[in-house]
Amino acid sequence: MSVSAAYPVDLAPRGFDRLRAWLTDVWVMTRRNLIHVRREPMQLTDVTVQPVLFTLMFVYVFGSAMVLPGGGAYKDFVIAGLLCLNLIMSAPGTAVGLASDVSTGVIDRLHTLPMSPTSILVGRSLSDLLAAVICSAIVALTGLAIGWHATTSLLQVLAGFGVVLLFSYAFHWMAACLGLAVSGPESAEGIAFIAMIPLAFVSNVLVPAQGMPAWLRTIAIWNPVSAVASACRELFGNPNPSALLHAWPMQHPVAASLIWSLAILAVCVPLAGHLYRRKTRR
């Protein structure tokens, strides 16, 4: 039997066509979400106005009284934490958006179209990633305006933003699971904020973990948000008091951040697919 008979020549084009069709579906869904934002720009307040308010508020309120272990300016310490804080606090928007699509029947209508079901979730995640990029840029620009600066190379600074954006991307998949698991957007918003607030604030994003009670300090040290904030501080060359703590995530924050992000993606991406199929099952 010839090679051409064993492997029909049209298999490769068909595979390529399927990939191209999937990418087209992903782009359509991403564009749909971006159009919604353009028509309702107030949806972006959590990644535009909120970062500016948080940065000014925490720098000038906490900064006047904060003494960092090991020394350093509070504004240089807190910018990395504010990156994490703002990106985490914007994640409930993903849960609310998906829950709204389910409750209003949008998902059912999309499910009847000749398109890949996974493109709906991936499109949502990519539009959220673009919003996270905008949020990160606004935090950085606000920080520069008040005197924050990085002391490392441009490559290391970009790596720091890459670490926090990867974690944000993973975190939005977690929020997507929540949005698909609850009964409506109101439930999604309430539960998401209840889940996000302890993660955001029981960490080292705003204050060093050294001043916490021992039991709370242990939780903060092993909180993935603390690892990401410490990784950004290390890559930016900013004050990083957590490096004085003898715990593996604080001694290897970049590795810990990557492990946490990949672990969350490994769990939440297939889980979101399962929840989506359950929601659309006839």
Quote the number of domains for the chain: 1
pTM: 0.85
Task: Name all contacts of 104-110 with Cβ < 8 Å and 24+ positions apart.
Answer: 107/276, 107/279, 107/280, 108/280
Whether 22 maps to a domain, the answer reads yes
First CA to last CA across the chain, in angstroms?
45
Each residue of 12-37: b (16+ CB within 10 Å) or e? Answer: eeeeeeeeeeeeebbeebbeebeeee
For residue 3, is it within any domain?
no
Residue 90 lies in a domain: yes
Is the CB of residue 266 less than 8 Å from the CB of residue 242? no
Read off the tokens for 91: 């994640």
**Does some domain include residue 1?**
no
**What pLDDT, on the 0 to 100 scale, is given for residue 30?**
77
**How far apart are the C-alpha atoms of 135 and 164, rounded to whole Å?**
11
Give pLDDT tens digits for 205-243.
999 988 889 999 999 999 999 999 999 999 999 999 998
Q: How far apart are CA 229 and CA 242, in angstroms?
A: 10
d(CA 73, CA 107) in angstroms, rounded, equals 48
Alpha helices, DSSP H, located in 104-242: 106-111, 117-145, 154-181, 185-201, 214-222, 224-236
105 in any annotated domain: yes
Q: Is residue 131 part of a domain?
A: yes
- DSSP states of 21-56: HHHHHHHHHHHHHHHHHHH-GGGGGGGTHHHHHHHH
Burial (CB < 10 A; 0-12, 13-18, 19+), residue 271, is middle
Question: For residues 196-235, b (16+ Cβ closer than 10 Å) or e, as one string?
Answer: beebbebbbbbbbbeebeeeebeebbbbbbbbbbbbbbbb
- Residue 253: domain span: 9-280
Q: What local confidence, expressed as pLDDT, does residue 44 receive?
A: 62
Give the span between the Cα atoms of 45 and 209, in whole angstroms. Answer: 30
Residue 91 DSSP SS3? coil
- CA-CA distance, 123 to 32, in Å (whole number)? 9
Task: Give the CA diameter of the chain.
Answer: 81
Q: Which segments in the chain show pLDDT lower than 50?
A: 1-13
